[in-house]
Amino acid sequence: MNKTVTVKAPATSANLGGGFDCLGVALELYHTVTVGFSSELVIDSIDGKSSSKNDLLYRSVNAVFKRFGKGDTPVGIVSRSDIPRASGLGSSAACIVAGVMAANALLNEPLTQKEMINICAELDGHPDNILPAIVGGVTAAYKDGDGIGYLRADVPSGLVFAVATPGFKLKTEKARAALPDSYSRSDCVYSLSRAVVTFGAFALGKIDMLKAVDDRLHQPYRAPLINGYADVKNAVAAAGAISSCISGAGPTVIAFFDDEEKAKKTTVPDGWTLRVLRAEQNGAELIR
């Protein structure tokens, strides 16, 4: 490879209960990607080497190249991720953000951050993982005429996340297919009220008000797809969590604690992995 750039993109937890497809938070767990111009397409990941143009990282790089008339320019990509795949921790969003930011850097940064957000959200389908991966902290997103609008806040420094991930995967498509086409007004109001208070609790630093985290738009339909869900909810509650919810489309469960030691004492069921994490406040980083 000639010129190379490296981007480190964080994991994210989307929805945060009632904020379905809107709220998300960035976590200190990362996917690091190095991209450089090359004579042929090579994607080097922990799965081995590939030259598939269907690779999500490559498609994300190429989406930027295409916009500037450089589609299909061959690149070498080295990808190393600590974010488990199909687990509800934004592994796809981290791929997309890393690919788009790396391509933008290779082309000497022609895109604004807003343009990158819009390209990434289009590739991912929704903005709730994309936004915190790019700007860090906690974000509330909405679609407006020219793309994605959002509010961002720093995550309160005392907040700790206990993130429990089972050994099985759950594809987002399957978790979305489980959702109904319509909802009652009372369920919409229930989730809306929880989402508003949840974002406010983050933004105002009122960690105790994260007790409002809950939802009736997606969790009741996804919980049956997550074997062990009730056990994990009970385990984090017993350890002293303020509340917990499905992370993204699942199957990971994320719990909110005001004390790291309590979070570390969570006993997850066999086959589940516990990560105790802090928020990533800055979002994806370009490392030259």
Binding site for ligand HSE (CB under 6 A): 14-15, 20-21, 126, 128-129, 172, 175-176, 218, 248-249
The least distance separating ligand HSE from the CB of residue 249, rounded to whole angstroms, comes to 4
For the CB of residue 204, give the shortest distance to ligand HSE in the complex, in Å.
24
Q: Is 109 exposed, middle or buried (0-12, 13-18, 19+ CB in 10 A)?
A: exposed
Cβ at position 80, least distance to ligand HSE in Å? 22
From the centroid of its chain, how far is CA 119? 16
Return the exposure string of 196-206: e unless at least 16 CB atoms fall within 10 Å of the residue's CB, then b: ebbbebbbeee
Q: Name which of 129 and 165 has its Cβ closer to ligand HSE.
A: 129
What's the closest the beta carbon of residue 212 comes to ligand HSE, in angstroms? 19
Of residues 147, 145, 146, 150, the one with CA closest to residue 134: 150
Q: Are 107 and 257 in contact (CB under 8 A)?
A: no
Q: C-beta of 235: minimal distance to ligand HSE in Å? A: 22
Q: Identify which of residues 133 and 241 has a Cβ nearer to ligand HSE in the complex.
A: 133
Tally of CA atoms within 13 A in the half-sphere of 218 that contains its CB: 25
Q: State which residue, 246 or 274, has the beta carbon closest to ligand HSE.
A: 246
Residue 126: CB minimum distance to ligand HSE, A: 5
Q: How far apart are CA 172 and CA 56, in angstroms?
A: 15
Q: Give CA–CA dist 116/239, Å, rounded.
A: 40
* CB of 130 or CB of 263, closer to ligand HSE: 130
Residue whose CB is less far from ligand HSE, 18 or 248: 248
- Give whichever of 79 and 252 is closer to ligand HSE, judged by the CB atom: 252
* Phi/psi-derived region of residue 64, left when phi > 0, alpha when psi is between -120 and 50, beta in every other case: alpha
CB atoms within 10 A of CB 221: 15
